[in-house]
């Protein structure tokens, strides 16, 4: 079986993925699976999705040769896939448009979403406004506090933001709460899941909607450099921007695929969000994948400067790509990500999201080990305006 | 051999319905669980559902989620829960115990190892909320081979075609979730449940328990009229939450006795 043929009909990527949910959601997931199967073969659906990506999101997003950054880091040339230039400022909108179109097809007038950094929440609120749907966004109380600008953006877009005060008050708890809402309102509500995780068919359909990133790169890189990159680097929280750029590159065997997890205070400290680097397989949020868990199988709290990477699990396809050896996964600590954030601001005039800064930070390590004629493609998954309060606070500055 | 089947057979012979109360192991404290289990039996429980605490109880409402958080704060893990069942069995070898929880703690221990340990501790059935029959191939068989009944859920959203498939994988009894939502939700419509149960029974020979939304003697009676077993969780757990720790056993006994009267009124 080819790596690109997965998942199987029940959502398995080897031992990962699947459908691990309570009975109440089984029918809804089956309905979604059947409807998505029809939609992906419907030329009208594909055409509308592509139209929206072009005219509403502003795709294709450019690939940019970061010359000054490349010179500063030394070694390989660094190219940035500018998902930060999308409408709403991140790759998340690719997926929310796809899912909103599905919701509309299925006659659902109410959408719900979970959000960590707030990017997916904003992208969901945006498409709900665009297609005239009611929108409720669940967000960990801690994230509500550290991502105030995005909370306000969602409210401006007409969404209701519900702070979740249970558990660790971050993304995983927001996901629990969104699932509870869905169980309760399953007939009227479409759950717009924000990453390539959750029960089947979500990991597959989110990946499919995000694959536009990698497909564009496959066109754009040869136009810029005459060939495909030597390495593709993307940050991995749940892993949707990474799978979006990795998946089309899977058949290109000479292209290294490198996922960058949040190392937090350092993987060795235990205070991180790097399940692929330091976790073990388990079941959470409807699927099997690498997880951060303790000796009793309880999920442990994660730590990252970046709210969007602060998640104890990871999309099942990444677990599979890791085990299959097709992708490598590494961790970047908070301070390394912050340094890369500063580099990109000062050297290129680009303010990256703290999530994407993890990918830039790894390119900083990787580039000097490669030749100047080689290239690294970094998925710059989002812009960093939302993070300026966090960065200011860490620098001891009051805005 | 599980105690669940014989329990239902005996109840049927007496024209009685089963009362199945739920508590979370380790709530309010490690030392309370076994005394609470004995109190449940004393007050009229036929089967005990013992919740295995989990950090991310997606299918539970706030009441049971908080119980899970309290138990985890008391450092209660799956091994402790099995030890509690073994302790309970020193004085009670008759009342079936069903563990209810989520996949990950069990998966982390290993399904085979867990099944052996659970059987040795005196567990009769296991309900892993987030393992539907589709994902249970192997798991349900491992449980059955160890003599544990794999308990599965059916819900108002389960299509008729699926009921048969779930029933085929299940053992002990079927747990029908009476409403869409998480545990602790309100507004139970027993008329609707009765219709659905008639359909379920056409495809399933196992006894059918009904849970979610049962809060007092009246709702317990209404459900006992249509189901073989009445499952009550949040009502009891919230009693534990509100009581001073040293009074929780008495308070729970009182509530369960009231529910018992409701269940028995249905068959008078």
Tens digits of per-residue pLDDT, A254-287? 999 999 999 999 999 999 999 999 999 999 999 9
Sheet holding A12-13, edge to edge: A12-13, A16-17, A287-291, A280-284
Alpha carbon of B268: minimum distance to chain A alpha carbons (Å) = 33
Helix axis angle for B248-265 and B33-42, nearest 10°, is 30
Q: Which ipTM score applies to this complex?
A: 0.95
**Closest by Cβ to B78, choosing from A28, A179, A297:** A297
Partner B contacted by A200 (CB < 8 A):
no
Q: Are the C-beta atoms of B46 and B95 separated by less than 8 Å?
A: yes
Highest mean pLDDT: which range of A307-311, A367-371, B176-180: A367-371
Say whether A26 and B162 touch across the interface (CB within 8 A): yes
Q: Which residue of A has its CA nearest to B78?
A: A296
A43-52, A178-187, B215-224: least confident range: A178-187
Say whether B134 and A21 touch across the interface (CB within 8 A): no
A122-131, A168-177, A280-289: least confident range: A168-177
Active-site residue, selected from the candidate residues A114, A142, A317, A336: A114
Q: Are the C-beta atoms of A270 and A276 separated by less than 8 Å?
A: no
Q: Residue A87's CB: how many other CB atoms inside 10 A?
A: 17
Please, which residues bridge with residue A163 across strands? Answer: A139
The residues near A97 (Cβ < 8 Å, ≥ 6 apart) are: A49, A52, A53, A56, A57, A127, A209
Q: How many residues does chain B have?
A: 268
Picking from A10, A15, A16, A26 by the largest number of B CB atoms within 10 A of its own CB, the best residue to mutate is: A26
Q: How many residues does chain A have?
A: 399
Neighboring chain B residues of A280 at a CB cutoff of 8 Å: 108
Q: Are the C-beta atoms of A87 and A116 separated by less than 8 Å?
A: no
The closest of B60, B237, B24, B68 to A177, measured between CA atoms, is B60
The pLDDT value recorded for residue A117 is 80
pLDDT at residue B184 is higher than 70: no
Neighboring chain A residues of B103 at a CB cutoff of 8 Å: 20, 283
The Cα–Cα gap between A290 and A279 comes to: 6
> Three-state DSSP class for A331?
strand
Q: Which residue reads 């899970």 in tokens?
A: B68
The Cα–Cα gap between B64 and B24 comes to: 8
Q: Which residue of B has its CA nearest to A24?
A: B155
Exposure letters B211-242 (e unless 16+ CB within 10 A, then b): bbbbbebebbbbbbebbbbbbbbbbbbbbbbe
For the entire predicted model, the pTM comes to: 0.95
Over residues B116-126, the mean pLDDT reads: 98
The question of whether B124 is a catalytic residue gets the answer no
The pLDDT value recorded for residue A172 is 86
Partner B contacted by A18 (CB < 8 A):
yes
The question of whether B228 is a catalytic residue gets the answer no
Quick: pLDDT tens for B28-45.
999 999 999 999 999 999
**Closest by Cβ to B180, choosing from A24, A284, A288:** A24
- Residue B7 CA neighbour count, 13 Å, CB half: 25
Partner A contacted by B72 (CB < 8 A):
yes
Quick: pLDDT tens for A208-248.
999 999 999 999 999 999 999 999 999 999 999 999 999 99
Q: Are the C-beta atoms of B256 and B19 separated by less than 8 Å?
A: yes
Structure-block tokens of residue A284: 């959470």
Say whether B181 and A293 touch across the interface (CB within 8 A): no
The residues near A398 (Cβ < 8 Å, ≥ 6 apart) are: A392
Say whether B177 and A285 touch across the interface (CB within 8 A): no
Sheet holding A189-191, edge to edge: A160-164, A134-140, A110-115, A189-191
DSSP-assigned states of every residue in A60-83: SPPEEE-HHHHHHH-SSEEEEEEG
The Cα–Cα gap between B152 and B130 comes to: 10
The pLDDT value recorded for residue B256 is 98
The pLDDT value recorded for residue A190 is 97
Alpha carbon of A309: minimum distance to chain B alpha carbons (Å) = 18
The pLDDT value recorded for residue B185 is 65
The Cα–Cα gap between A11 and A7 comes to: 5
The pLDDT value recorded for residue A146 is 79
Strands A256-266 and A271-273: antiparallel
pLDDT at residue A1 is higher than 60: no
Structure-block tokens of residue A45: 């659906």
The Cα–Cα gap between A185 and A179 comes to: 10
């Amino acid at each position: 079986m080819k790596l690109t043929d997965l998942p199987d009909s029940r959502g398995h990527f080897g031992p990962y993925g699947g459908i691990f949910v309570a009975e109440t959601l089984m029918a809804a997931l089956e309905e979604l699976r059947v409807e998505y199967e029809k939609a992906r073969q419907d030329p009208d659906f594909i055409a509308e999705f592509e139209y929206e990506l072009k005219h509403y999101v502003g795709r294709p997003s450019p690939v940019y040769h970061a010359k000054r950054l490349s010179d500063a880091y030394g070694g390989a040339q660094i190219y940035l896939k500018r998902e930060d230039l999308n409408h709403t400022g991140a790759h998340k909108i690719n997926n929310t448009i796809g899912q909103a179109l599905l919701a509309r097809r299925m006659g659902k007038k109410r959408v719900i979403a979970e959000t960590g950094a707030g990017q997916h929440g904003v992208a969901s609120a945006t498409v709900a406004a665009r297609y005239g749907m009611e929108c409720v966004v669940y967000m960990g109380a801690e994230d509500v506090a550290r991502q105030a600008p995005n909370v306000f953006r969602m409210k401006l877009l007409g969404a209701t933001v519900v702070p979740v005060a249970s558990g660790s008050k971050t993304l995983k708890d927001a996901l629990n709460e969104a699932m509870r809402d869905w169980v309760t309102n399953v007939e009227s509500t479409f759950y717009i899941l924000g990453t390539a995780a959750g029960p089947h068919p979500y990991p597959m359909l989110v990946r499919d909607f995000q694959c536009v990133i990698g497909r564009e790169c496959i066109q754009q890189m040869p136009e810029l450099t005459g060939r495909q990159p030597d390495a593709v680097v993307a940050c991995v929280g749940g892993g949707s921007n990474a799978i979006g750029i990795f998946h089309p590159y899977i058949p290109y065997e000479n292209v290294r695929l490198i996922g960058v997890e949040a190392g937090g205070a350092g993987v060795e400290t235990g205070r991180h969000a790097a399940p692929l680097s330091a976790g073990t397989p388990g079941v959470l949020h409807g699927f099997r994948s690498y997880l951060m868990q303790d000796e009793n199988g309880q999920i442990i709290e994660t730590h990252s400067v970046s709210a969007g990477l602060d998640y104890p699990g990871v999309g099942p396809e990444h677990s599979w790509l890791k085990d299959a050896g097709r992708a490598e996964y590494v961790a970047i600590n908070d301070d390394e990500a912050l340094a890369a954030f500063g580099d990109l601001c000062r050297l290129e005039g680009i303010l990256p999201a703290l999530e994407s800064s993890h990918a830039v930070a790894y390119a900083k390590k990787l580039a000097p080990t490669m030749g100047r004629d080689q290239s690294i493609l970094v998925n710059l998954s989002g812009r960093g305006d939302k993070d300026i309060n966090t960065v200011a606070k860490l620098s001891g500055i009051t805005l | 051999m599980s105690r669940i089947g014989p329990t239902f057979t005996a109840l049927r012979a007496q024209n009685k319905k089963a009362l199945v109360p739920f508590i979370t192991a380790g709530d309010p404290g490690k030392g309370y669980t076994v005394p609470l289990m004995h109190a449940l039996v004393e007050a009229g429980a036929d089967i005990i559902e013992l919740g295995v605490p989990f950090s991310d109880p997606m299918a539970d409402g706030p009441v049971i989620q908080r119980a899970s958080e309290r138990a985890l704060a008391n450092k209660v893990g799956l091994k402790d829960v099995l030890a509690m069942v073994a302790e309970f069995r020193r004085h009670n070898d008759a009342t079936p115990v069903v563990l209810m929880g989520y996949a990950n703690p069990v998966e982390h221990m290993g399904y085979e190892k867990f099944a052996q340990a659970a059987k040795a501790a005196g567990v009769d059935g296991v309900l892993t909320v987030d393992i539907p029959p589709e994902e249970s191939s192997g798991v349900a068989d491992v449980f059955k081979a160890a003599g544990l009944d794999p308990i599965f859920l059916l819900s108002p959203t389960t299509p008729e075609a699926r009921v048969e498939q779930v029933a085929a994988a299940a053992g002990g009894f079927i747990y029908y979730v009476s409403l869409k939502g998480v545990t602790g939700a309100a507004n139970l419509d027993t008329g609707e449940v009765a219709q659905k149960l008639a359909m379920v029974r056409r495809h399933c020979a196992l006894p059918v328990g009904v849970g979610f939304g049962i809060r007092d003697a009246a709702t317990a009676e209404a459900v006992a009229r249509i189901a073989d077993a009445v499952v009550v969780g949040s009502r009891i757990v919230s009693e534990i939450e509100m009581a001073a720790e040293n009074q929780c056993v008495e308070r729970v006994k009182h509530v369960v006795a009231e529910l018992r009267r409701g269940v028995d009124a249905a068959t008078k």
